[in-house]
Amino acid sequence: MARFWPVLLWLVLLPGCLESQATLRWHPDGSMDLELRVAGAPQALAQGLRAQGFWVRTGADGLVATRRLKAAGWDRLSGWLPGRFVYRDPSGVVFSRTSYLLFEDYRLSGRFVPLRAAGLPPWMAPVRFRLVIEAPFPPRAANADRREGGRLVWEGTLGEAFAPRVVYRLWYPERGAVLLALLSGLVLWRRSRPPRGG
């Protein structure tokens, strides 16, 4: 029985020592990746993240796991026609893009519990957790707990439900230039035609 108390004490104190952060990075080329950082993480967690497709680095201060969410270039070519694209992640997070020809709105919304989304053991529920979203452009609207420079931050624990809402609006001036060139070409072509019946 005496050996049980150190294990119990370790299980009670360990969540207070651990800290975790998920950073969603949106790069200027349109690609997105997700980086997870867990300070003081057990080795079993690294194996579980590798099984989910993360590239994992471990060190004395914990682990860093990264996974690509979206390849580059998709944004530039896919929005020429108005419409909406929605991706609902199994975690409960919803990504959507609505195209309006000259600009596009990108939204992240939904409700998720990090503990369940990452398939972590229940004893990690009280571990402190930060959700950070970084983008190379300012948000149009966000319900973040606070902003750190260009970063949006939500804070809680792994066992709490998070309901982030972020909207980014991106303007694409090259689309306007192409439309203007097409309209100008059409006008010049109509003027260069000889009049009918004459």
For the chain, what are the domain ranges? 17-192
Joined tokens for residue 18 = 């651990």
Q: What is the pLDDT of residue 29?
A: 67
Q: What is the pLDDT of residue 6?
A: 32
Secondary structure (3-state) at 128 = strand
Q: What is the pLDDT of residue 100?
A: 82
93-99 and 62-70 beta bridge pairing: unpaired
Task: Give the model confidence (pLDDT) of 132-170 as tens digits.
Answer: 999 888 899 999 999 998 899 999 999 999 999 999 988
Joined tokens for residue 37 = 């950082």
Q: Is 108 left (phi over 0), alpha (psi -120 to 50) or beta?
A: beta
Instruction: For residue 9, give the DSSP letter.
Output: H
113, pLDDT greater than 80: yes
Q: What is the pLDDT of residue 154?
A: 96
179, pLDDT greater than 90: no
17, pLDDT greater than 70: no
Give the type of residue at 85.
F
Task: Give the model confidence (pLDDT) of 27-53 as tens digits.
Answer: 776 677 888 888 876 667 778 788 878
Q: CA-CA distance, 160 to 25, in Å (whole number)?
A: 22
Of 120, 112, 109, 116, the residue nearest 92 (C-alpha): 112
Joined tokens for residue 145 = 């707990």
Joined tokens for residue 87 = 């991706």
93-99 and 103-110 beta bridge pairing: antiparallel
